[in-house]
Amino acid sequence: MDKLNDQVARYHEELKKGYLQKAYRGIMEFMSGTRTYLSESHADMTTGALYQGFMDMTFFTMTPETLKARKLKVAIVYLHDNNSFEAWLSGTNRQVQSDYLKSLKGTDLSGYELSEAAPGVDSIISLTIAEGPDFNDAEALKKLIEAETMRFITDMERLVSYAKNK
């Protein structure tokens, strides 16, 4: 395994090329703009702060009252390693996540799959919105994220309502 100094030296070399900073800044600006757009377009939902992450994931939450009342939230996530956007149904804490994973097990999830309970897994159910997204057409990407997230939220409201009544 490389020593930290070796890793920092490689990191520094990549930074000198300049594209890392530009790409990261562009992703953050896109996520911030998308968060603002969705917050204004869907004022009836609670929108969380932008979590920039450690070049692993960047996300914000957007949650309707129906899910919030059940201690759930929906995260719109950009996964840096995969260069993809996902929507996640998550609990407000690990216990809530665990409880919903148990209550939804064996339920018809209408094409969705339950996430595996494991360290570092923060979703109960996830949806891939876009792989290899086109950041050059930011408006179309923003609209795609909005449409898929709204569909996901509607589906999750129905699923958790069913799970609660099970």
Q: What is the pLDDT of residue 110?
A: 83
Strand partners, 89: 74, 125
Mean pLDDT across the chain: 92
Give the Å distances, CA to CA, from 25 to 13, 34, 102, 119, 152. 18, 14, 39, 29, 28
Radius of gyration of the CA atoms of the chain, in A = 18
Q: What is the pLDDT of residue 117?
A: 74
Residues in CB range of 54: below 8 A, 6 or more apart: none
Residues in CB range of 16: below 8 A, 6 or more apart: none
Q: What is the pLDDT of residue 164?
A: 59
Give the residue ranges of DSSP H helices in 57-137.
65-68, 94-104
Poorest-confidence range of 37-41, 64-68, 99-103, 148-152? 99-103
Residue among 125, 145, 141, 121 nearest 133 (CA): 141
Q: What is the pLDDT of residue 86?
A: 97
Q: Give SS3 for 151.
A: helix
Q: Is the pLDDT of residue 166 over 80?
A: no
Q: What pTM does this model have? A: 0.90
